[in-house]
């Protein structure tokens, strides 16, 4: 068993990293393999969109007070 495996999987192929464990757990839960990555990408995109609008607001605020 790989030391990097956190889920205790003892079959083959052995888990090489945490992502193998996550995907294995997803299959056990009946989810589509790799769904975590899609969710993660969505979350990242949402956060980036929120951050962008905050930065834009700051830029508008600062440009209004500059002159
Ligand atoms: Zn594992």
The encoded tokens of residue 50 equal: 């929120």
The encoded tokens of residue 61 equal: 């605020």
The encoded tokens of residue 23 equal: 């995907």
Residue environment code for 15-27, b if the CB has 16+ CB neighbours within 10 A, otherwise e: beeeebbbbbebe
Q: How far is the CA of 48 from the centre of ligand 1 (A)?
A: 30
Q: How far is the CA of 29 from the centre of ligand 1 (A)?
A: 14
Q: Give me the residue spans of the domains in the chain.
A: 1-33, 40-67
Considering the chain, what is the average pLDDT of its residues?
Answer: 83
Q: How far is the CA of 53 from the centre of ligand 1 (A)?
A: 39
Q: What is the pLDDT of residues 34-65, one digit of tens each?
A: 888 888 889 988 888 887 777 778 888 888 77
* Cα dist from 22 to 6, 33, 66, whole Å: 9, 9, 50
* Residues, CB within 5 angstroms of ligand 1 (ion): 5, 7, 9, 15, 21
Determine the average pLDDT of the residues in 19-46. Answer: 87
């Amino acid at each position: 068993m790989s030391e990097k495996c956190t889920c205790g999987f003892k079959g083959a192929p052995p888990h090489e990293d945490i992502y193998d464990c996550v995907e294995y757990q997803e299959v056990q839960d009946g989810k589509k393999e790799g769904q975590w990555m899609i969710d993660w990408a969505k979350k990242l995109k949402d956060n980036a969109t929120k951050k962008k609008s905050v930065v834009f607001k700051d830029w508008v605020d600062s440009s209004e007070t500059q002159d």
